[in-house]
Amino acid sequence: MARIAVAQMDPDVADLQVNLDKARALIAAAADQGAELVVLPEIALRGEDAEGNAITLDVPGPAVDELASMAQDAGAWVVMGLAEASKPYNSAVVFDPAGKLADVYRKVFLYLGENDGYEPGTEACLLDFGFCTAGLTICYDYIFPEYIRALVVGGARLLLHPTAWQDNDVCRQWKYPAREAYRSQCLVRALENNIFVASANRARSLDANGNLYQVGGSSIIAPWGEVLAEVDAVEDVAVADLDFARADEWASSAAPYFSDYLEKTIPEV
């Protein structure tokens, strides 16, 4: 059994320190509810320089050191998305409850225009939290079932998903149900792999021109498809207990999807 939280955050488009302060408040709120792990959204640490250019962050570096202190103060694992300087990368940093930088995951699958601003990551990320092994993904990564299945084959029982899932004018022209699609994808990944899914979205868009629309809906979902906790459209945290024994019971009694996959020789096409 483990208690985890997703934090839905409303990042400020221009002010890095405001975003650090928001993160600190959300992490503290989750810790006050007993969360052992807090997941925040994709590129939730955002700011701009005097010319209006997006700031990328050194890992380690001053802003990341502040995140480390938040994890230490909360006594919890913290996962948070940011734009990492080096290449740059769309990254998520992971801190342990002592404030030590435990890992950095760099988004593998870049969506459309992201390819112009970021380099793709080349390594998957599996994390041992003690209570379970988790796979870490960022936003668009979770669209690809083979990638998620590989994490589960590697031992993941929980999928962590910092995201900035949004709607836009083009999607609306196609009558694409952005929020429903986002939630449905979380449900499918949980069901088909018999894993818990923790997805932390942003509470609004960082688009200054108003062409993007945030869908919110951060949630923690059980392997049997139950939404254990969620945030609607506001800046808040959702906390839930993960019962891995119950997940095993669900798989053995009703949904042996993953074990059947492992036992089956897949026919060549």
pLDDT in tens, 112-157: 989 998 999 999 999 999 999 999 999 999 999 999 999 999 999 9
| 100 is a domain residue | yes
Is 269 contained in some domain? no
Distance separating alpha carbons of residues 103 and 138, to the nearest angstrom: 14
Q: What backbone torsions phi and psi does residue 112 show, to the nearest 5 degrees? A: 45, -115
CA distance 178 to 164: 12
Pairing of strands 101-106, 37-39: unpaired
Q: Which domain holds residue 55?
A: 2-263
How crowded is residue 30: how many other Cβ atoms within 10 Å of its Cβ? 27
- The confidence score (pLDDT) of residue 250 equals 98
**Three-state helix/strand/coil letters over the chain:** CEEEEEEEECCCCCCHHHHHHHHHHHHHHHHHCCCCEEECCCCCECCECCCCCECCECCCCHHHHHHHHHHHHHCCEEEEEEEECCCCEEEEEEECCCCCEEEEEECCCCCCCHHHHCCCCCCCCEEECCCCEEEECCHHHHHCHHHHHHHHHCCCCEEEEECCCEEEHHHHHCCCCHHHHHHHHHHHHHHHHCCEEEEECECCCCCCCCCEEECCCCEEECCCCCEEEECCCCCEEEEEEECHHHHHHHHHHCCCHHHHHHHCCCCCC
Please indicate whether residue 264 or residue 81 has the higher confidence score (pLDDT): 81
Identify the bridge partners of residue 210 per DSSP, sorted by sequence position: none
Quick check: is 77 in a domain? yes
Confidence band, pLDDT 50/70/90 cuts, at residue 68: very high
Please check whether residue 140 lies inside any domain of the structure: yes
Structure confidence by residue, pLDDT tens digits, 4-17: 999 999 988 788 99
Q: Is residue 92 included in any domain, yes or no? A: yes
| Average pLDDT, integer, range 168-180 | 92
Reported confidence tier of residue 190, pLDDT bands at 50, 70, 90: very high
Residue 208 scores a pLDDT above 60: no
Pair of tokens at residue 201: 């979205």
User: Would residue 268 count as lying in a domain?
Assistant: no
Q: Look at residue 171 and tell me if it is in a domain.
A: yes
Instruction: Please state the domain count of the chain.
Output: 1
- Identify the pLDDT of residue 46: 81
In a domain, 32, yes or no: yes
For range 39-66, the mean pLDDT: 87
Token reading at 42 = 């994709």
Identify the CATH number of the domain in which residue 10 sits: 3.60.110.10
> What pTM value is reported for the model?
0.95
Residue 206 has pLDDT above 70, yes or no: no
